[in-house]
Chain A
């Protein structure tokens, strides 16, 4: 099913025309309402009149996370406070959090985008849908909540925490859909195992997973354990929240709601736009946002835009899975390493639980990488009753890692349950190098 065929299946020419008109309007809007953008445009000798078609977007300056922090709390807000009906804040682990204010129209567009996403996943008014993103300042919980209400399904605002109670509700209420982070989905599966709740006692059939990068292997693992079909949903609070893009049944990339969020891919070093299909940093311009519009916002997510038409009938462009972050990319002995690469290898090893930790250090001026993994209690068997047998597993894993990372990693096999599980965004890296 398609929620809004007019917008999701528009011809490319119509879409570009619409995007051009909206871009001109939003540039004019921020020029008159946000001193930060007005100053930037004036420095570049640009006026809104110079921006008429979507191709003119490359003339505009970029916006970075630092710009948002420097203008904390309301410096980039374009609408007057009386028009703002909700304020979210992104996690501020370093420095100020990012404050995002939404007008009534913003919330309505967000709900629309969320409804498009859920409909694409096969959710309808007949579903009982549990939202297990955190409710609160994080956009995940309330964003997904509004979408579920918009399509008319029954929303269960489970939020995070109290996972045992949630697991029982999934069984007892016959909950059919869930939105959460992929790592929370695995945590939920573990909790169900612990409570003795089996796959055939639950009715989950759709999962909307996002807010952190995940891999195809992780998808298979979640689908096998919870008996549902898992779909990717992508978003970020600086642009809107979840539902900036969403997968369809084809599951080959996520369709971007590009009538509202215009995507570009740039080289993160030269800042030059890259050709379609190339991997680089994803950049978004909000075309319709009133509360806090962003112009060419650098997401720091690395991915590509997929060329070609999608068999599902939607014409809005697809983005690939996130290949990493420009800022959580580790450089170890000069080689770029993404935690997601390690994850993909961990998930090929049936001996290990789907958790891992990278510990990077520098010993005698040489970078070292230690990868911690955990034995899975239900896989442990009599053939593993000698240290030599355990070492063999470790060596096999290390060889696979080397094949993917191109550097040697030391492997540490740990007992079940000893690597910390996260209930929100996973943290998989401890960097002990004192480089800064």
Chain B
């Protein structure tokens, strides 16, 4: 039910993002979405992309601190309150959201979520009939 996300440790200074992005370009891997969780000194650069396993392997070989995280990609209703509905569903079930970000794919709003309880999250997605996307859906 989850999709793979690259999580990359980067230092908060000029040129570090560029280095990672150039490596992705060299590998010929398409980035679908990305975001940065930053602090004053460093950040975690999160990337949803095609061929996550190959991207991870090639970045690692280039000496980048990278790991694969499993996250949920949920399609939102494109109307005010769409995201509030989804997050509210998890909060009501007592599930904490570790981090989230959203992007538009062909005009559809996609919410990427990482929670503190993966199994319970899957249960809620099933029972509430949330539209959970696969990697194939994102690349289609």
B-binding residues in A (CB < 8 A): 375-378, 380-382, 384-387, 390-391, 412-418
Contacts and interface: CB of A to CB of B under 8 A. Distances in A.
Given A377-B63, A380-B66, A416-B64, 18 more contacts: A375-B65, A376-B65, A380-B9, A385-B67, A385-B69, A387-B39, A387-B42, A387-B43, A390-B9, A391-B39, A414-B42, A415-B9, A415-B11, A415-B42, A415-B64, A416-B63, A416-B65, A417-B63
Interface string B39-68: 101111010000000000000100111111
Contact of B42 (A378, A413, A417): A413
A289 B64 CA distance: 52
B12 to A, nearest CB: 10
Given A415-B16, A415-B65, A384 B7 contact: yes
Interface string B56-90: 00001001111111100000000000000000000
Interface of B: 5, 7, 9-11, 16, 37-39, 41-44, 46, 60, 63-70, 98-99, 114
B98 A386 contact: yes
Would you call the interface of chain B mostly helix, strand, loop, or mixed? strand
Contacts of A385: 5, 7, 44, 46, 67, 69, 114
Nearest to B16: A415
A399 B38 CA distance: 23
B9 A375 contact: yes
Nearest to A375: B65
8 contacts: A380-B9, A382-B7, A382-B67, A382-B70, A385-B7, A390-B42, A391-B39, A412-B41
A412 B16 CA distance: 16
Given A384-B9, A415-B9, A377 B44 contact: no
Contacts of A380: 9, 65-67
Contact of B68 (A382, A415, A417): A382
Nearest to B4: A382
Contacts of A387: 37-39, 42-44
A386 B44 contact: yes
A381 B56 CA distance: 11
Nearest to A412: B41
Nearest to A384: B67
A394 to B, nearest CB: 9
Contacts of A377: 60, 63-66
A386 B5 CA distance: 13
A342 B20 CA distance: 31
Nearest to B36: A387
A77 to B, nearest CB: 49
A414 B46 CA distance: 18
B37 A386 contact: yes
Contacts of A412: 41
Pairs of residues from A and B, 7 with the lowest C-beta to C-beta distance, nearest first: A385-B7, A380-B65, A382-B69, A375-B65, A385-B69, A382-B67, A381-B67
A419 B65 CA distance: 14
Contact of B11 (A381, A382, A386, A418): A418
B133 to A, nearest CB: 20
A73 B8 CA distance: 54
Nearest to A416: B63
B39 to A, nearest CB: 5
Contacts of A416: 63-65
Contacts of A415: 9-11, 16, 42, 64-65
Nearest to B19: A415
B75 to A, nearest CB: 23
Nearest to B71: A385
A337 to B, nearest CB: 22
A391 B39 CA distance: 10
Contacts of B60: 377-378
Nearest to B6: A385
A349 to B, nearest CB: 14
B99 A386 contact: yes
B48 to A, nearest CB: 13
B115 to A, nearest CB: 12
Contacts of B67: 380-382, 384-385
Nearest to A383: B67
| Chain B CB within 10 Å, residue with most, of A376, A385, A387, A417 | A385
Pick from B9, B16, B63 the residue with the most CB of A within 10 Å. B9
B126 to A, nearest CB: 23
A415 B23 CA distance: 15
A427 B5 CA distance: 38
A381 B65 CA distance: 8
Contacts of B39: 387, 391
A375 B44 CA distance: 13
A418 B64 CA distance: 11
Kindly name the residue among A375, A390, A391 whose own CB sees the greatest number of chain B CB atoms within 10 A. Answer: A390
A190 to B, nearest CB: 10
A415 B68 CA distance: 17
